Amino acid sequence: MKKILCALLVALSAITHANSTPTLNIYNWSEYLPDDVLAQFQQETGIHVNYSTYDSNETLYAKLKANPEAGYDIVVPSTYFVDRMIREKMLIPLDKTKLVHFNNLNPALLNKNFDPYNNYSIPYLSSSTGIAYNDNYFTKGSITRWTDLWQQRFSGQLLILDDVREVFSMALLSLNDSPNSTDPQQIANAYATLVTLLPNVKLFNDEAVKAIYIDDDATVGMAWSGDIYLANHANSHIQFVYPQDGYIIALDSIAIPKNAPHLANAYAFINFVLRADIAARISQATGYMSPNAAAVALLPAAIRNNPIIYPDQATLKRGIFQTDAKDASALYEKYLERLKIRA
């Protein structure tokens, strides 16, 4: 009798399982989670992941705004969009008692202004925005700052990141202004200086940057550090510069959107990527800095000391976190559209 009951229970649980495969809907930056890590998560937990990607905070934000019931359980906004999404009540507060590896995180990257107690966001990866160039075409060491990009020798050559705040940060920094400016006059000046850069611009892109540099489709321009860390592995002539006139350091954080349908699975995922071994693999495979101190300690010295992915302290000091431009956001976007029409 006992045996029959047991068999019945097993059969029953199999049926229930088949009817409701545990699921998790992740919406992340492109090239921000290696396939094998995602596969391991699914294998270890039995949770099926629907994975989709975006290439800008604006896209993520617009998608969530347009459809608050979109069904995402995990999103990865950058600092300034965490701030905006908290204010607009688009995120749910996290239950930290459910986060088992929270202490792995580097305390220097916690409790920042955009989310003072990390009640809504868990640092995931950190990207830096700098200059990429191929030293087959341009002398090594001859490009050190954003203002260099205006030189005539780059006519028709530049790749510009198709990301509104990144483009304007570059222009504002080249004018010695804050990349977080909300001053309409400064933003107008940045636009004017970008117009003078247009003769040097070849293309705007933010999703195929690595391939574009590897294929020599662009030989100089803007880039995110991870793309160039990987491009440099494919072709050691592709260099990355942390500009002397300052650069954007992004902290991209995991958050759970309002109405997330699979909360428990979202926590399972956060706990998985907070594991030191997993966070180390994510950093190594994507080429981006990990805010997970325990993970960094596990990385081979060659990676921990690689200046593209883990720059030294003096370089890190020039990095600037982005803050939400609030009312000025629309102005930035309007100018970017105008710029791209003229390009």
Which residues are at the interface with ligand N2P (CB under 6 A)? 29-32, 78, 127, 224, 226, 250, 252
Q: Shortest approach of ligand N2P to residue 78 CB, angstroms?
A: 5
Q: Shortest approach of ligand N2P to residue 98 CB, angstroms?
A: 26
Cβ contact 49:26 at 8 Å: yes
The beta-carbon contacts of 96-103 under 8 Å, at least 24 apart in sequence, are: 98/267, 98/271, 99/267, 99/270, 99/271, 99/274, 100/271, 100/274, 101/271, 101/274, 101/275, 101/276, 101/294, 102/274
CB-closest chain residue to ligand N2P: 250
Q: Shortest approach of ligand N2P to residue 146 CB, angstroms?
A: 18
Complex with ligand N2P: residue 47 or 249, whichever CB lies closer = 249
Q: Nearest-CA neighbor of 154 among 172, 131, 171, 173? A: 131
Sign of CA dihedral 85, 89, 92, 95: positive
Rounded CA-CA distance 153/168 in Å is 22
Q: Shortest approach of ligand N2P to residue 57 CB, angstroms?
A: 8
Structure letter (DSSP) for residue 302: H
Q: Shortest approach of ligand N2P to residue 104 CB, angstroms?
A: 21
Q: Shortest approach of ligand N2P to residue 55 CB, angstroms?
A: 7
What would the two tokens of residue 30 be? Answer: 């492109």
Rg of the chain, C-alpha, whole Å: 22
Which amino acid is it at 207? Answer: E
Non-local (6+) Cβ contacts of 63 within 8 A are: 27, 54, 70
